Structure 1
Amino acid sequence: MNSEEKEKTESKLKKADKLMHASSIGMSFAFSILIGTGMGWWLDKFFGTKPVLTFIFMLFGIAAGFKNMIYFMKKAGVFDEDNK
C-alpha cells in the first residue's frame, strides 16, 4: 500500500468516525427527550395530572439532551483551542 492509498484510507476512517459521533449525539438527544416524556406521561397517568408532568419531564429530557450533546462534543474535541 503506497502513501496515497494510506491517506485515502485514513481520510475515510476519519469521516466514518465523525459520522459515528454525529449519529450518537443525535440518538442521545432524541432518546433523552423520549425517556423524559415517557416518564412524565406515566407519572401523569399514575397521579391523574394529565399534561402537567409530561410537559415538565419533556423539558427535563430536552435539558438532559443538551447536556449529553455538549458532553459528546467535548469528548470529540470540538471545543479544543487547537481547532481554532
Structure 2
Amino acid sequence: MEEAALRNFKDFLLLYNKMTEMCFKRCVDNVNSRTLDGQEAECIEDCSSKFIKYNNRLMQNFVHVQTELVNKRVAEVEKQQSNLEAS
C-alpha cells in the first residue's frame, strides 16, 4: 500500500512539474523581474486551470473505460467458469 502511495505521489509531482514548465514557457516573457506582471499572472492562472480541468476529465474517462474493461473481463471469466463447471 505504501508503494502505491509513493508511486501516486511521484506521478503527481511529475504532472505538476510538467504543468509548471508548460505554463511558464507559455506565459512568462520577462525573467528579469521577480514578480509576474498582470498579463503573465492571468495567463498562468488560465493555463494551470485548463491543465487541471483537462487532467480531471482525462482521469474520469480513464476510470470509466477501466471499469468497463474490468467488468467485461469479469463477465468473460465467469462465463468460462460456468462453461467449465457445465463440462
TM superposition score category, shorter chain reference: 0.5 to 0.7
- Correspondence 1:46 to 2:81: yes
Query: Which amino acid in the other structure matches residue 17 of structure 1?
Result: I
Deviation at 1:47, TM superposition (A): 1.0
Deviation at 1:11, TM superposition (A): 0.3
Classify the secondary structure of the residue corresponding to 2:60. Answer: helix
How does the TM-score come out when normalised to structure 2?
A: 0.54
Q: Which has the higher contact order (CA 8 A, sep 6+)?
A: 1
Partner of 1:22: 57
How does the TM-score come out when normalised to structure 1?
A: 0.55
Deviation at 1:48, TM superposition (A): 1.1
Provide, for residues 42-67 of structure 1, a one-character-per-residue CA deviation record: whole Å limited to 9, x for no partner: 01101118xxxxxxxxxxxxxxxxxx
- Correspondence 1:31 to 2:66: yes
RMSD: 1.3
Query: Which amino acid in the other structure matches residue 5 of structure 1?
Result: E
**Is there any run of 5+ residues in structure 2 with no aligned partner, and where?**
1-35
Classify the secondary structure of the residue corresponding to 1:33. Answer: helix
Query: Which amino acid in the other structure matches residue 21 of structure 1?
Result: N
- Correspondence 1:7 to 2:39: no
Classify the secondary structure of the residue corresponding to 2:73. Answer: helix
In the alignment, the residues of structure 2 paired with residue 17 and residue 28 of structure 1 have an alpha-carbon distance, to the nearest angstrom, of 16
- Tell me the number of residue pairs that the alignment of Structure 1 and Structure 2 aligns: 49
Highest CA radius of gyration, 1 or 2?
2
In the alignment, the residues of structure 2 paired with residue 48 and residue 8 of structure 1 have an alpha-carbon distance, to the nearest angstrom, of 59
**Is there any run of 5+ residues in structure 1 with no aligned partner, and where?**
50-84
